[in-house]
Amino acid sequence: MAKPVTGFSKKTKAEKIDWLSKTYLNNNPEAVQTLQQYWNEDSKLQKLHDDFIENTLSNYYLPFGVAPNFLINGSLYALPMVIEESSVVAAASNAAKFWLNRGGFKAQVLSTQKNGQVHVDYFGNEQDIVSFFSEVKPKLIESVSTIQKNMKKRGGGLLDIELVSKTESLDGYYQLHCTFETLDAMGANFINSCLEQIAKTFEAEADSFESFKANDTFPEVVMSILSNYVPECLVQAKVTCNVAELAQKDVSGEDFAQKFVRAVQIAKTEPRRAVTHNKGIMNGIDALILATGNDFRAVEAGVHAFASKNGTYTSLTDAKIEGNLFTFSIEIPLAIGTIGGLTNLHPLTKFAFELLQKPNAKELMELVAVAGLAQNFAAIRSLVTTGIQKGHMKMHLMNILNQMNSSENEKKQAVAHFNDNTVSHSAVIEYIEQLRS
C-alpha cells in the first residue's frame, strides 16, 4: 500500500514523476513517456502551463476547433470551440449554416449585475443588527475604496450592500448581500476581495457598538464569498423565420416546426428530458467558455441553478409558432470576462479573442448564448428527424478507426464504405478486420 508523501509540492517535476512512478506505476517507463510526450518543447510556454496550477506533470490537450458562418447581430463570426465530443463542432457549424440564410441569430444582454454575500451569525435582538447596519453601511462602503479604485474609474464597482435576514430558514443567519458591476472582468477576485474587507470592517465596528456590548451578543462572520448564481446578469439569444422556411428533406416546414416545439415543451415539463436537453446546450456553451479561458464550472453551476429557479428543473430554451412565425430562444445567466484570469495569459485564449474580433464581456455573453442556442437547435433537429446516432456515429467513426490503429488507407476506405452504411462499433471492427484479411 502507498505511504503518505510529505512536501510533495516542493519536489521538482522530475522528483514528483519519479515518486508517482515508483509508488503507483511499477516504474513503467511508458507511463512516464506518456507524460513527457505532452510537454511543450518551448520551455517558456511549458513554464506558463506549469505555473497555472500546483503539481503540474504534463499538459492535457483537448481539440481546439472552429465553427464558421455564425451570423450574430448582423456580423459574421467563426466561433472557437474546445471540446472532446466528436459531433459538437459539426452540429454547431450545421446550425450556423442553417440560420445564415434565415436572418441569423439576434442576441442581447439584459443585465450585468453580479453578487456576493458576507454570511453572518447573530443571535441577538434583530432591531439592534438593523440599527447597527444602517449606521455602519457608509463605513463598509468606504472600506473598499482602495480595492475598487480602478474598477470605479472604469465605471464599475460595488453597487450596494443590503442586510438580509434569513432567520426564517436558519436560526441566527443574516447576510450582507452585496451587488457589483465588474464590466469586462468576470470579477471573482475583485468581488471576493471586497467581501472580505467588508466582513473585516463589519466585525471590527460591531465590537464597539453599544447595544451589542450591552447584551454581550455580537454578530460573527461565518464566511464571505461571491455567488455563482447570477440571475441579474442575463443574456438572451433567438432565431426567427417563417415556418415554411424550416422544411427539411422529407418533412414540411409546418410538421418540423410543430414537432420541434413539442420537443421543447417536453423538456419544459419533464426534468429527465430537460437535463439532457440542457446538457446539449452546454455542449456549445462550455466549448466556447473553455476556448476563451473562462470558468466553465461557474457557468455550469449558475446556469443549472437558473434552470430550476421556479422549483422544478426545466428547459433553458423556448420555442413557439405564432401565425407563420417560428421563434426559438434562450435566456441564461452568464458571469464571464474578456480581461483578467486566463483570458490574456493562455496563448490560445488570446488567439480565440482575436478570432472573435476582441469582444467585450457583453458581446462575449451574446456569442456564448448563441453557441448554446445553435447547439440545442442542431440536437432537436436531429432528434425529431433522423435521430442523433446517424450524425453522431459518423463523427465517431474516426475515433473507432484510431482505436484500431488503422492506416491512412484503411481510414479512407472505411469513410467511403460508411458513407452508405450504418456506423456501429462492431460494424467498423468487422469491416477493418475483413480489409486486413
As a whole number of angstroms, the distance between CA 394 and CA 118 comes to 51
Binding region for ligand MEV (CB under 6 A) out of 29-37, 155-163, 277-285, 394-402: 277-285
Report the 3 state secondary structure along 78-143.
Answer: EEEEECCCCCHHHHHHHHHHHHHCCCCEEEEECCCCEEEEEEEECCCCHHHHHHHHHHHHHHHHHH
How many residues bind ligand MEV (CB under 6 A)? The answer is 9
As a whole number of angstroms, the distance between CA 321 and CA 243 comes to 8
Of positions 93, 228, 283, 406, contacts ligand MEV by CB under 6 A? 283
Contacts for 326 with CB less than 8 Å, ≥ 6 apart: 240, 241, 242, 243, 246, 253, 257, 260, 261, 319, 320
- Verify binding: residue 276, ligand MEV, rule CB under 6 A: yes
Binding region for ligand MEV (CB under 6 A) out of 12-20, 235-243, 254-262, 278-286: 278-286
14, three cell numbers: 522530475
What mask, x for binding ligand MEV by CB under 6 A, covers residues 232 to 271? ----------------------------------------
Report the catalytic residues: 85, 279, 295, 392
- Verify binding: residue 318, ligand MEV, rule CB under 6 A: no
366, 234 Cβ separation under 8 angstroms: no
148, 158 Cβ separation under 8 angstroms: yes
Binding region for ligand MEV (CB under 6 A) out of 181-189, 272-280, 286-294, 329-337: 272-280
**Site residues (CB under 6 A) for ligand MEV, limited to 354-393:** 379, 383, 388
Nearer Cβ to ligand MEV (56/399): 399
- Verify binding: residue 279, ligand MEV, rule CB under 6 A: yes
220-226 and 173-181 as β-strands: parallel, antiparallel, unpaired? Answer: unpaired
Largest CA distance in the chain: 92
What mask, x for binding ligand MEV by CB under 6 A, covers residues 73 to 112? ------------x---------------------------
Site of interaction with ligand MEV (CB under 6 A) = 85, 276-277, 279-280, 283, 379, 383, 388
